[in-house]
Amino acid sequence: MPVDTRTRQPYGLLHGGVSVVLAETLGSCGAIYSAPPGHRVVGLDINANHIRAAKSGWVTGKTTPVHVGRSTQVWAIEMHNDAGELTCVSRITMAVLAAR
C-alpha cells in the first residue's frame, strides 16, 4: 500500500485507519479462500497496534491464519515498511456463514 497524500493524516504519517483497512482486506481474503465452497465470511472483530510511523514509501502486509474453524476464523496481520521494520500488527476474527 502506498504511503502518500491519499493515505497520510494531517501530521504526514500513514493514517492508522488506512492500516486497519489493509488488515481487514488481507484477513478477509484469507478467510474467504479458506472457507468451504458456497460459504460467506464476515468480520466480527478487528484490532490494531501501531508500532512505527510510516511517512513515505510502501507498507506491505502479510496475513497468517491463527485459527481456521468451522464457524470462526482468526487471522494475524503484520505490516512492514520498505526497510522491513514492523509498522502495525492486527488481528481479525471472522464468522463463517453457511450458504443460503
Is a pLDDT exceeding 90 seen at residue 63?
Answer: yes
Domain-embedded: residue 9: no
What CATH number has the domain bearing residue 82? Answer: 3.10.129.10
pLDDT value at residue 73: 98
Known catalytic membership, residue 24: yes
Q: Tell me how many domains the chain contains.
A: 1
pLDDT value at residue 100: 78
When pLDDT is averaged across residues 6-21 and rounded to a whole number, the result is 97
Choosing from 24, 26, 41, 90, the catalytic residue is 24
- In three-state form (DSSP H/G/I as H, E/B as E, the rest C), the secondary structure along the chain is CECCCCCECCCCCECHHHHHHHHHHHHHHHHHHHCCCCCEEEEEEEEEEECCCCCCCECEEEEEEEEECCCEEEEEEEEECCCCCEEEEEEEEEEEECCC
State the residue range of the domain holding 85: 16-97
Domain-embedded: residue 66: yes
Is a pLDDT exceeding 90 seen at residue 99?
Answer: no
Is a pLDDT exceeding 90 seen at residue 66?
Answer: yes
Domain-embedded: residue 7: no
Query: 79-95: per-residue pLDDT in tens?
Result: 999 999 999 999 999 99
Domain-embedded: residue 88: yes
